[in-house]
């Protein structure tokens, strides 16, 4: 007669009927149901995607827990919305066309596609999507660094893959975001040294005779991005009141200039220009009309504020080269066009503007972005606060100073 009602033989046959446990204990985290049988073995139950219940056996609890974890993982993959046989390449190509392309700017989409096709697919494209691990991603990132790819580019690879896998995780196609668990390389922050107020005055004085002098004046007073400045139309500016509406930006898509509407509410913003900038714009408009009269073909005139004499858009790279030449001629520090934006933030802070107003002026969606990008504003604000506190508590300061001097003597 078999002991325990023949449960041992059922286990050997792999019978799906539940064994009779001698005792059970509370399940561990993510373990499911694990019981200790009277014959000394451990057993666990798992429900398959088909609805059938299957029992797993082992000599130790750890052995059964490992089997159960593997079974649950396989079951989760079988239940996923995507095909468990789908590889990373197929998913990324779907994500690019169906998720990224409809929701991002054309220039951003081109960047995504370039990184996916040039870096991600060659490295991990053949891995099954449901089997993609943090180790796969980490190995890829490390290899890219060994190949000499700039840390900032490696970070971009991880960011794009993280976004793509985030959608897969949200939809239930994968159980976790493997890119989120991989460590990106450290990137040294670009040390921006914005022009001081005195240097800005010197700069504006030095560009007075330049055709695009008002473009630089606009950059250092409003912090417009280069694409936003080059995307301005005269209809966006009230030359009487100085009211300015930022609505679009100029982008290069497949080598062609394209005006693109700003997508975020924060990016679309209304500003009021300083009087001297408004006056400069009026003069710029007058000269531009004179230029048009001297050009035979103005069919490409889009009403842009900053453009070539025939009305066609300017190239950002040419403006950057022009800026570098001007700064060198004036003996001023090297600046990218975008660095003038940092200078505008510093000037705004010097005039008493708080971070919220500076953030709105620059078109940031959150004040936290402004705080992170312009950390030097915190030190300036802190120093200003210390001076104000000193002035407020001056009498107390004097008494404390006298007391301290007396104690030391």
Domain of 98, CATH number, reads 1.10.150.130
Q: What is the pLDDT of residue 350?
A: 80
Same domain, 54 and 160: no
Condensed to tens digits (0 to 9), the pLDDT of residues 289-319 reads 998 888 877 667 789 999 998 889 999 999 9
308 vs 224: CA distance, rounded Å: 20
Domain match, 226 and 252 both: yes
Residues sharing a CB contact under 8 Å with residue 300, sequence separation 6 or more, in sequence order: 310, 311, 312
Both 230 and 314 in one domain: the answer is yes
Contacts of 262 (CB under 8 A, 6+ apart): 228, 246, 247, 248, 249, 268, 363
Q: Are residues 62 and 106 located together in one domain of the fold?
A: no
Task: Reply yes or no on whether the pLDDT at 164 is more than 80.
Answer: yes
In this structure, the answer to whether residues 311 and 329 fall within a common structural domain is yes
Domain limit, last residue, from 126, 157, 181 = 181
Asked if the structure places residue 241 within a domain, the reply is yes
* Residue 253 domain-assigned (yes or no): yes
CA separation (Å) from 397 to 199, 388, 402, 403, 406?
A: 36, 13, 9, 10, 14
Same domain, 284 and 315: yes
Residue with the bigger pLDDT between 83 and 194: it is 194
92 lies in a domain? yes
Question: Within this chain, do residues 170 and 99 fall inside the same structural domain, yes or no?
Answer: yes
Query: Do residues 132 and 176 share a domain?
Result: yes
Q: What is the pLDDT of residue 347?
A: 86
Residues 73 and 92 reside in one and the same domain: no
Statement to judge: residues 301 and 212 lie in one domain = yes
Q: Has residue 403 got a pLDDT over 60?
A: no
Quick check: is 100 in a domain? yes
Domain assignment present for 409: no
In eight-state DSSP terms, residue 350 is H
Residue 34 neighbours by CB distance under 10 Å? 21
- Where residue 172 falls (left for φ over 0; alpha for ψ -120 to 50; beta otherwise) is left
The answer to whether position 379 is within a domain reads no
278, 239 Cβ separation under 8 angstroms = yes
Q: Are residues 217 and 329 in the same domain?
A: yes
How many CB atoms within 10 Å of residue 366?
Answer: 10
Nearest to 342 by CA among 362, 312, 319, 369: 362
The parent domain of residue 51 ranges over 3-79
378 pLDDT band (50/70/90 cuts)? low
Q: What is the Cα–Cα distance from 116 to 161, expressed in whole angstroms?
A: 8
pLDDT band per the 50, 70, 90 thresholds, residue 182 = very high
With a cut of 50, say whether residue 3 has pLDDT above it. no
If one compares 353 and 30, the residue with the highest pLDDT of the two is: 353
**In the chain, % of residues over pLDDT 70:** 79
186 within domain boundaries: no
pTM over 0.85: no
- Domain limit, last residue, from 305, 333, 361: 333
Q: Which of 57, 79, 101 is the last residue of a domain?
A: 79
Distances in Å between the alpha carbon of 316 and those of 108, 195, 248? 17, 21, 15
SS3 assignment for 236-269: HECCCCCEEEECEEEEEECCEEEEEECCCCCCCE
Residue 46, both tokens? 């798992």
What average pLDDT does range 273-288 have in this prediction? 94
Given a cut of 90, whether residue 82 has pLDDT beyond it is: no
Q: Report the number of distinct structural domains present in the chain.
A: 3
Using the CB atoms, write b or e for 84-99: b if 16+ within 10 Å: eebbbbebbeebbeeb
CA distance linking residue 200 with residue 348, whole number of Å = 13
CATH number at residue 248: 1.10.443.10
Tokens of 164: 């793509």
Q: What is the pLDDT of residue 33?
A: 74
Q: Each residue of 350-370: pLDDT tens digit?
A: 888 888 888 888 888 787 777
In terms of average pLDDT, the best of 22-36, 243-257, 294-308, 355-369 is 243-257
Res 14 pLDDT > 50: no
176 and 288 share a domain?
no
Let me know if residue 120 belongs to a domain.
yes
Question: Would you state the pLDDT for residue 27?
Answer: 47
């Amino acid at each position: 007669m078999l002991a325990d009602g023949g449960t041992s033989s059922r286990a050997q046959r792999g019978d799906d009927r539940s064994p009779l446990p001698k005792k059970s204990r509370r399940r561990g985290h993510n373990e499911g149901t694990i019981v200790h049988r009277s014959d000394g073995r451990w057993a666990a139950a798992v429900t398959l995607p088909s609805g059938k219940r299957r029992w797993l056996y082992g000599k130790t609890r750890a052995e059964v827990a490992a089997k159960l974890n593997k079974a649950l993982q396989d079951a989760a993959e079988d239940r996923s919305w995507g095909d468990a046989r789908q590889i990373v390449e197929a998913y990324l190509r779907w994500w690019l066309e169906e998720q990224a392309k409809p929701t991002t700017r054309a220039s951003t989409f081109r960047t995504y596609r370039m990184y996916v096709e040039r870096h991600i697919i060659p490295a991990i494209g053949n891995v099954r999507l449901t089997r993609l691990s943090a180790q796969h991603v980490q190995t890829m990132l490390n290899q890219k660094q060994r190949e000499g790819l700039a840390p900032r580019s490696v970070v971009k690879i991880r960011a794009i893959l993280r976004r793509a896998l985030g959608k897969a995780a949200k939809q239930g196609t994968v159980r976790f975001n493997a890119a989120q668990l991989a460590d990106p390389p450290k990137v040294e922050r670009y040390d921006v040294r914005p022009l001081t107020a005195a240097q800005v005055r010197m700069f504006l004085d030095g560009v007075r005779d330049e055709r695009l002098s008002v473009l630089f004046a606009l950059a250092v007073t409003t912090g417009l991005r280069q694409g936003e400045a080059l995307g301005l139309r005269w209809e966006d500016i009230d030359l009487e009141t100085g009211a300015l509406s930022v609505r679009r930006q100029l982008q290069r898509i497949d080598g062609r200039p394209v005006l693109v509407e700003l997508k975020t509410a924060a990016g679309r913003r209304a500003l009021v220009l300083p009087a001297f900038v408004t006056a400069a714009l009026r003069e710029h408009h007058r000269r531009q009309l004179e230029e048009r009269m001297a050009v035979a073909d103005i069919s490409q005139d889009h009403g842009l504020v900053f453009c070539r004499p025939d009305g066609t858009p300017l190239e950002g790279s040419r403006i950057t080269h022009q800026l570098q030449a001007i700064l060198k001629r004036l003996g001023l520090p090297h600046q990218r066009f975008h660095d003038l934006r940092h200078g505008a933030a510093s000037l705004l802070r010097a005039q008493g503007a708080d971070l919220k107003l500076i953030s709105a002026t620059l078109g940031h969606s959150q004040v936290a972005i402004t705080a992170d990008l312009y950390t030097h504003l915190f030190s300036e604000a802190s120093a200003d606060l210390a001076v104000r506190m000193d002035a407020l508590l001056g009498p107390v300061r004097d008494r404390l100073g006298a007391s301290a001097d007396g104690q030391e003597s």
